[in-house]
Structures are given as C-alpha cells and as structure tokens.
Structure 1
Amino acid sequence: MSKLKVSFYVLSANKAQDFLGFICQLTQTALNKSSQSLIILTDNEERLIELDEVLWANDAASFIPHQRLSAEVSASNANSVAPVLLSQQLPPNFSGIVINTTARPVNDFIAATSNVLVSRILEIILPDDTSVAQGRQKYKYYQQLDYELTHFKV
C-alpha cells in the first residue's frame, strides 16, 4: 500500500492576497487530475460563504460545481452530491482529496467510527507567523505518521 501524500502550498504575500482565487485554482487543478471527490475544510462559516460565492463565479465562462455540506446532505450520499464539498468537518463516509485551510491536521477531523478514506491532502499555509507555525506542527505530525510530504512555494 502506498503512503498517503500530503502537499503543502506555502503562499507568497501576493498569492495570499488572492487566497480564495488560489483555492479555486488548486481545486480546478485537482479536479482536472482526478475523478475523485474533493472537500475543502475550513475553520468558520464566514469562510464557507466566501468560498461558496467565489467557486460559483471563479471564471466568467465556467464555475466549479460544489455544495456546502449541511445536515440535509447525509453521510451516505456526501460523495454523490457534487464533485466539490465545502465543510467544517469530514462526513463519515467521505472518500477523496482534502484541501485543508484549517489550523489542525486532517486526521483530527476523522472520527474513529467513520469510514473516511483520504487519498491525498493539500495543506494551505499563509505567509504569516501563526499559519507558518501551524504548518510546521502539521508537517511534524504527518511526518510521524510516515506520510509522503512535499511542499511548494507559490
């Protein structure tokens, strides 16, 4: 069995100014390279609203089909609703790619009783001291789990 791949995207100050645009670009790239479902994890409701709006209006000629995960989206059909989900949690039966914009490692969102199968993790690191420190903590955590780690400065 191959190791879980975790990619860290360390944003420059310029890229961080267009954080939501970068998320759209990364999401579209992941969708183009894979047929798997994708979930964008975020810390708060405000960020979910912003992501929801920007994904619909990403490009004048297209949009990224997505849905905010809510109570009416049951755990059993979460992967079949839309190719991209937006949430503050991982649904129990999610299978696919995770874009993590939170301060915590993705494993913190996986309940012991769930059937979550994460195939790849994409971590976003902003160019501020807090985000960099959190990124280092997550890197060490994933390293201890023997995940395959890469990082990109963008």
Structure 2
Amino acid sequence: MTKIDFHVNVADKLAYSCRLLRKAYQSGARIVVMGDAEMLAELDTRLWTFSPQDFVPHCRADAASATLTVTPIILTGSLADCAHHDVLVNLGLEVAVGFERFARLIDVANQMPQDLAAARQRWKHYQALGHAPKKHELVPAGVPI
C-alpha cells in the first residue's frame, strides 16, 4: 500500500518543492512530480536556479525516452506513461489518478484556503480507500485537515 504524507501550510510551494526534490534525489529516489502545466514550468525553471551549489537532474515528461529512462525526477501533468514508481510528489489540487502505483506519495499544500480545502478532500479520499495519511505541519498548527 502507498505510504502517504501530507506536507501542509507550506509558505512557498515551489521553493519548498525544490528543497524536497533535492533531498529525495540525494537519497537515491526516483521521483515523479504531478501538477498543472504552469506550475511545472515554473518548477522546472526554479530547479535550475534555486541553489548554485546543487544540481537537481530533472526533465519534463515529453522528453525523449532515453532521457526519461536516466533522469531521476520527471515533471508531468499525467501519470499515464510514467516509468518511475518510487515517489510521487503531488503539487496539484486533485487526487493524482494512478497514485497507488507508487511506493510513496508526498502531497504538498500551501497556506491558501483553496489549496487547504482541496488537500482536505484528497485526505478524505485516501482514507476512504483504506490509507492512513500522515500530516507534517510546516508552520504553527491552526488549520486542521
């Protein structure tokens, strides 16, 4: 069963994701990042520029198959053709269809009411499927899921 972690009340979802992806990459994980096209384009840019000391290898899901095979982090809007099944990072508002193929799911929600409300719905969805999500509060408590 997929291990599910919610990282909630993130001040800057993309900056946090850059640090999270760096850490996951350094641990040897293969990661798929799910989100909308605009967010993934901004994440792509930030991964190249957020830390002058670190290289975080990544590519978009539309890269050549040879590139997808060797790249540890794939940015995508759909899990339909993803070859990696270690870690899924969900930056979107919806449940990632196909998340159960992954060993681990990290669901990230910022402090905006719409994002937190969507996270609550995803949490309930996972619970209804028999999962036991774990919450990681990144700022002082106050907004329950």
Give the shorter-chain TM-score range: 0.7 to 0.9
Runs of 4+ in 1 over 6 A off after TM superposition: none
Matching of residues 27-66 of structure 1 within 5 Å: 27-33=21-27, 35-44=28-37, 46-66=38-58
Q: Aligned-pair RMSD on alpha carbons? A: 2.2
Please report how far the alpha carbon of residue 53 of structure 1 lies from its aligned counterpart in structure 2 after TM superposition.
0.9
Partner residue, 1:127 = 111
TM-score (norm 1): 0.79
State the number of aligned residues: 137
User: How many Å separate the matches in 1 of 2:78 and 2:70?
Assistant: 16
CA contact (8 A) 1:96 1:120 kept: yes
Percent of aligned pairs with the same amino acid: 24
Runs of 5+ unmatched residues, structure 2:
139-145
Secondary structure at the aligned position of 1:47 is classed as helix
Matching of residues 9-88 of structure 1 within 5 Å: 9-12=7-10, 15-16=11-12, 19-33=13-27, 35-44=28-37, 46-70=38-62, 72-73=64-65, 78=68, 80-88=69-77
Matching of residues 139-154 of structure 1 within 5 Å: 139-154=123-138
Please report how far the alpha carbon of residue 81 of structure 1 lies from its aligned counterpart in structure 2 after TM superposition.
3.2
User: How many Å separate the matches in 2 of 1:97 and 1:49?
Assistant: 20
Seen in structure 2, the aligned counterparts of structure 1 residues 59 and 92 have a Cα distance that, compared at 3 Å, is closer
Partner residue, 2:90 = 100
Deviations 1:58-107, CA, capped at 9 Å, x for gaps: 21112200001116438xx84x230000110112543221100111112x
Which one-letter code corresponds to 1:81 in the other structure? V
User: How many Å separate the matches in 1 of 2:63 and 2:54?
Assistant: 28
Runs of 5+ unmatched residues, structure 1:
none
Deviations 1:9-34, CA, capped at 9 Å, x for gaps: 1124xx23xx221001111222233x
Please report how far the alpha carbon of residue 42 of structure 1 lies from its aligned counterpart in structure 2 after TM superposition.
0.7
CA contact (8 A) 2:25 2:56 kept: no
Which one-letter code corresponds to 1:100 in the other structure? N
TM-score (norm 2): 0.83
